[in-house]
């Protein structure tokens, strides 16, 4: 049994590289997903994952399937969409979710059009769904750097981030850190989606960010518990997904995200913090 779990990673370097990339992505994206869910911004990550597509498409048109060019383009496009949607929300009657929805739809359509006009359907599939089994040294360094920056930034901004999740009005009244922390957090979201894009593609990058974070809500009660549980679930999803992909001859990115989805369904059923089965069990009466 142990050989079945370890043999693919022992025998093949590409499996070890894929696992290393997923470990780095899990360590950084899952904590960001926890704060997204606490701030009720889960769907924003889905929008932002599409917003990076036109930048990645421009990088592809300029330099082909070049990771630095596509990463830089995606980062610029994602930050531009985030800042523009925030500016529109603060200067017009539109709320931020509505302006973000408009911008991300435009970005998604523009990105698909650019890639389709100059590339092939294979190139489009590569950008949309990623190639986690083809990570090279540059991609691993990118993912490791993103994880380092993310964890360091979250450690510095941990207290204002938690306070903004609990009582944003109070944070604004006692500190001027609210706006800088908010925009810095949006930057971390974009940065991790760009890293996820390198491994899982734009359409699946958000899966490893949100599904473990949502699943963790069924196992932990506060932020100090949610973050390590989300990271553990992301690591388990990545490892199990790679093994399912290897033995089942399936695409790796979808296998990882579907494994994370299976863990979410299991957590929803048997999670100790509000799982369905625990809710169906009769509550104990108080004893005298």
In a domain, 133, yes or no: yes
Q: What is the pLDDT of residue 288?
A: 45
Say which residue the tokens 């922390």 belong to: 181
Residue 52 in this model has a pLDDT that exceeds 60: yes
Both tokens of 148, joined, read 């380092």
Number of domains observed in the structure of the chain: 1
**pLDDT grade, residue 179 (50/70/90)?**
confident
In a domain, 63, yes or no: yes
Q: What is the pTM of this model?
A: 0.84
Q: What is the pLDDT of residue 76?
A: 86
Q: Which of 54-68, 118-132, 160-174, 210-224 has the lowest mean pLDDT?
A: 118-132
Which CATH number fits the domain that encloses residue 145? 1.10.3470.10
Q: Which of 177-181, 188-192, 259-263 has the lowest mean pLDDT?
A: 177-181
Q: What is the pLDDT of residue 96?
A: 67
Distance of alpha carbon 123 from alpha carbon 176, whole angstroms? 45
Segment 201-217 shows an average pLDDT of 84
**pLDDT grade, residue 241 (50/70/90)?**
very high
Residue 178 in this model has a pLDDT that exceeds 80: no
Residue 82 zone, left/alpha/beta (φ > 0; ψ -120 to 50; rest): alpha
Query: pLDDT of 83-94, one tens digit each?
Result: 777 777 767 766
In a domain, 285, yes or no: no
In a domain, 189, yes or no: yes
In a domain, 287, yes or no: no
Segment 133-160 shows an average pLDDT of 89
Phi, psi for 251 (deg, rounded to 5):
-60, 135
Segment 175-198 shows an average pLDDT of 81
Segment 166-178 shows an average pLDDT of 75
In a domain, 104, yes or no: yes
In a domain, 8, yes or no: yes
Q: Are 23 and 79 in contact (CB under 8 A)?
A: no
Distance of alpha carbon 233 from alpha carbon 215, whole angstroms? 8
Both tokens of 208, joined, read 């490893």
Angle at which helix 53-63 crosses helix 96-118, to 10 degrees, equals 20
Q: What is the pLDDT of residue 120?
A: 60
Q: Are 245 and 252 in contact (CB under 8 A)?
A: yes
Q: What is the pLDDT of residue 125?
A: 66
Segment 208-231 shows an average pLDDT of 91
Q: Are 192 and 150 in contact (CB under 8 A)?
A: yes
Residue 2 in this model has a pLDDT that exceeds 50: yes
In a domain, 146, yes or no: yes
pLDDT above 90 covers a percentage of the chain that reads: 26
Query: pLDDT of 116-142, one tens digit each?
Result: 776 665 566 666 667 788 888 888 898
Residue 192 in this model has a pLDDT that exceeds 50: yes
Segment 213-230 shows an average pLDDT of 91
What is the extent of the structural domain holding 59?
Answer: 2-280
Name the average pLDDT for the chain.
82
């Amino acid at each position: 049994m142990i050989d079945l779990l370890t043999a693919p990673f022992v025998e093949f370097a590409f499996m070890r590289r894929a696992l290393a990339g997923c470990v780095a992505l899990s360590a950084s994206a899952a904590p960001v997903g926890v704060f997204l869910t606490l701030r009720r911004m889960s769907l924003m990550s889905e929008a932002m994952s599409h917003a990076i597509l036109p930048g990645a498409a421009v990088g592809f048109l300029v330099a082909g399937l070049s990771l630095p060019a596509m990463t830089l383009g995606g980062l610029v496009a994602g930050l531009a969409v985030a800042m523009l949607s925030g500016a529109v929300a603060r200067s017009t009657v539109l709320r931020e979710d509505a302006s973000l929805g408009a911008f991300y739809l435009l970005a998604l359509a523009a990105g698909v059009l650019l890639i389709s006009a100059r590339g092939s359907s294979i190139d489009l599939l590569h950008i949309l769904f990623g190639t986690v089994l083809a990570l090279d040294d540059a991609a691993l360094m990118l993912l490791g750097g993103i994880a380092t920056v993310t964890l360091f930034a979250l450690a510095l901004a941990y207290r204002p981030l938690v306070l903004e999740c609990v009582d944003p009005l109070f944070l604004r009244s006692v500190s001027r850190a609210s706006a800088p922390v908010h925009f810095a957090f949006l930057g971390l979201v974009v940065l991790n989606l760009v890293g996820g894009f390198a491994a899982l593609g734009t359409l699946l990058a958000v899966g490893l960010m949100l599904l473990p974070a949502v699943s963790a809500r069924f196992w932990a009660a506060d932020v100090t518990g949610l973050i390590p549980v989300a990271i553990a679930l992301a690591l388990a999803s990545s490892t199990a997904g790679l093994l399912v992909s290897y033995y089942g001859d399936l695409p790796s990115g979808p296998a990882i995200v579907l494994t994370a989805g299976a863990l979410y369904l299991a957590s929803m059923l048997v999670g100790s913090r509000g799982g369905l089965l625990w809710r169906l069990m009769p509550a104990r009466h108080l004893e005298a």
